[in-house]
Amino acid sequence: MGMSWKEGVLTGLLAVAAASGLTTLVLVLVESTSILLPADTKFGIVFDAGSSHTSLFVYKWPADKENNTGVVSQALVCQVEGPGISSYASNPAEAGESLRGCLKEALALIPAAQHQETPMFLGATAGMRLLRWKNNSQAESIFTEVARVLTQSPVDFRGAGLLTGMEEGVSSWITVNYVLRNLLTYTFSGEWVRPPEATLVGALDMGGASTQIAFVPEGPILNASAQAPLLLYGANYSVYTHSYLCFGRDQMLSRLLAGLVQASPSGPVRHPCYHSGYRATLPLAPVFQSPCVPASAPPGASANLTVEGAGNPGACVSALRDLFNFASCGGREDCAFDGVYQPPVQGRFYAFSNFYHTFRFLNVSDGKPLDAVNASVWEFCRRPWELVQASYPEHARWLRDYCASGLYILTLLLEGYGFTEATWSNIEFRRQASGTDIGWTLGYMLNLTNMIPATAPTLQQAESYGVWVASVIFMALTLVAILGAASVQLFWPQDSDS
């Protein structure tokens, strides 16, 4: 007995539904496979040779997405044992040898077949700037030895160089805005879009020897030497940046102590930023060795220096203010300190490196209001040294300096850069953004490898993805409609002619 016409229609609908469902399944499986089995991964290596230590970063990204944004991620961070390379002035060969341990870790992570095509850079910052200022031949010897060791590695070593302060500031700005996808982002509708300029984040960096500020101001930048014009993904950015050499944490502490020694050349130094009850005998000569300290040891001073803590945060702030030349600005709003031009701060900022580490130790890095931050730092400074030692045994190396560092950060941000109680909440103290350590290294690598093109990316990839999404949605809706019709035929009451 043959099928009725309704049974034939129903059979056809089910056949179409099956074919549609199979097509949808194939599309989903193909896309899932492309997600689960990503394209080959590429890698890049950057050594951050800072003043107090050296760090190695390994970055990775899908090989077919070099010119898109938000695809580079951090694969490894390795802290090189020992001090920064500038500390090896008397033994340059050790500067190069110190890098071998972390380099070995990086090479173990990256597949051997990709070593030859992996770019590697070493960038040195303020510590080497100071050494070059003090003794250029010693600085060149260190760079020579570092290059000798890194050239022996199987990767594509592209050189060891000294970053300018502007390069350091701008690279940090690129890093934080890149990982936050503030330069370009991909929407669910399958389009590349440029977020509003208001989403851009300023960068506040502090190392051992220098500190940098970088941001896009509201108005024009009136000093060409402080302007870094950038063309990224087809958009022009005018970034203000300045680097203050000798205003990093370690150099600030040295300058502070040297000033107190000059004020008390004949007796024990009463240090207002050290906790009451602290007492130590230090060699005097290193205090005056840095080129950041313009003075020399007082005549007739002994070889050793006795320092006693006073635990006086008010006097500490006064001593810290002496490190700045605020009077040189003459009350101008577009001036920070030491006569340096700076537009008014604008927008949100990420403060990292020693900004973050100091405030995290002091437990004020989590968005506390300014008055609470100030009160917490002052309370810590007033604690007796015996109590502080008992409370933080694991922080012995820097423990005596956290009071000075905390008050210095407050002085720099408020009286130097011009943040106020109203704009304080715009600062976020962070070590990472989107799982990536914030600093200059990623932005530096992106720039030197041309991974952020000047032109906007084509929409081909976005369009193909949108077509895939639309196809899946269409097939799924078709399948639902056909199955719905089939269910009507199966379950709706039949008429007398059926």
CA 111/CA 102 separation, integer angstroms: 16
Cα–Cα distance, 476 to 474 (Å, whole number): 5
Tokens of 221: 């930048």
Query: Would residue 81 show up in a list of annotated catalytic residues for this protein?
Result: no
Please, what is the Cα angle at 188 between 182 and 193, to 5 degrees? 35
Catalytic residue among 117, 168, 197, 379: 168
Bridge partners, residue 47, by sequence? 56, 122
Residue 103's nearest CA partner among 130, 122, 131, 90 is 122
- CA-nearest of 411, 241, 406 to 323 is 411
Measuring CA to CA, which residue among 70, 68, 49, 47 is closest to residue 58? 47
The span from the CA of 179 to the CA of 433, in Å, is 7
Altogether, the residues listed in the chain come to a count of 498
Q: Which whole-number Å values give the CA distances from 395 to 83, 272, 358, 404, in the listed order?
A: 18, 20, 11, 15
Residue type for 456, please?
Answer: A
Whether 73 and 120 have beta carbons less than 8 Å apart is answered as no
E strand or H helix that includes residue 317: helix 313-321
What are the backbone angles phi and psi of residue 311, rounded to the nearest 5°? 60, 45
| Phi, psi for 186 (deg, rounded to 5) | -110, 125
CB of 223 closer than 8 Å to CB of 341: yes
How far is C-alpha 362 from the chain's CA centre?
21
List of residues 6+ apart from 275 with CB closer than 8 A: 309, 311, 381, 383, 384, 385, 388, 400, 403
Token duo for residue 471: 């196809």
Give the β-pairing of 432-433 and 427-429: unpaired
**Quick check: 65 and 71 in contact, CB under 8 A?**
yes
The label of the residue with tokens 């022996």 reads 152
Residues classed as catalytic: 168
